[in-house]
Structure 1
């Protein structure tokens, strides 16, 4: 299994709990340095202190970051590069579960209720927040030399199997995770020849604090939770000298697979899709062929 080079630096959003916390601990165990970026400043600082105490040296710093706030994310990246001089990996991992975007459908009471503005918090955090992280990662990588593993940097986004599959109860979650997947595939093509890899990890439900514990009870009973160690194993495949890019590494219970890109009617559409890229690059003044 690939591993980081000792001393490589990882910036992880949502790192004070759940998948991000487990990932940070794994990277430190491999000899890495980590930035714990989390909206919960107290939890982030406490976790960084635990990692430093265990290592008996500074291997982690924490930054308080609301990923939907560009200025806070920028400040976090600036602190990271000031402290550790470069960032080798960025894990855009912060996310939340579904928040109801509209009131429950009820024609009998609809006329007596005002039409309300939708709640887009889930999409804002799970998509816009990750795109802010990605934008900072890619511009940071552009400004630094190739690192010890042979890359300017590696970007890994946390998506979900709901990036491929619809959910009648989670339209905002599914929309945002699908956005992450298609952004990843598109960005991976653009950066393929630039010593930058872009990938996504897409698990089914994992037992983390992302939702109230009561939600997980029936999943535990029916053994329908995905194993967090399998999730970490997929992250690990992308480390070090791994050249994998543009892939959605997926986990559901004990099943692991690389989810293929949609190829339906691809040959018929590809000439127009490819030409639009050429024309858009010209319009934007980008020399990419």
Structure 2
């Protein structure tokens, strides 16, 4: 299966348009049509309905495999490229919004204190984009966050040859408007809030599907959707009564206009994990060692 054809297939279905895919990939619309036709001929099955553009049953099945396949191809290319890199003086760090907290900031300060010429770039991205940038070689290491039972790892996709380690575990909290009846509580139980109005903010707060999984309920339905990585925008929505959200207590407590109430049940923590390639650059390895030392000193 030609990966160029597969990328075109994914772009067509992402944009729900042959012309949109062509613009994003830098191809002509005719070339996009030829790619889809060639992929369908290779697999012996129609993959894309043309009017309107949508996946056929076979296309939907292929779409389940495509992101992982393309991610592994990017990982292989980046892994080989790193073998030929000179000693780097640049560090690119990708992090989901709630993962970029005090633990990461302090470790980065320690690293820069010993590597004065190091040029650092920090990117705040959604969780999937963080992992994609690390695996694809666009970031030297990444930090992602989520809710988990104490000492349990976060659920991750197959990232190929990468290393993952715990960076921090923090108290999980729910954001309430200041006038909410539960805003003054010392703790709350998530299961009691399953039927409340929630903000669906998968790249910023704990995703609602994760809350449904850990609480074993079909609740936690979105009242409003927030897309992006703006924590203050999320807090503004919560403060105005548009719904609840779950964030780590240290991050939530610093946001204006809301009350951050710790979660008592189920027994969960907000967990931050570091991900880097198995052959990281020297600055990335140094930062990982600093983070590992901090995590070990807390254990």
Structure with higher Rg: it is 2
More strand, by proportion: 2
Q: Specify if TM > 0.5.
A: no
Structure-1-length-normalised TM-score: 0.28
Relative contact order (alpha carbons < 8 A, sep ≥ 6): 1 or 2 greater?
A: 2
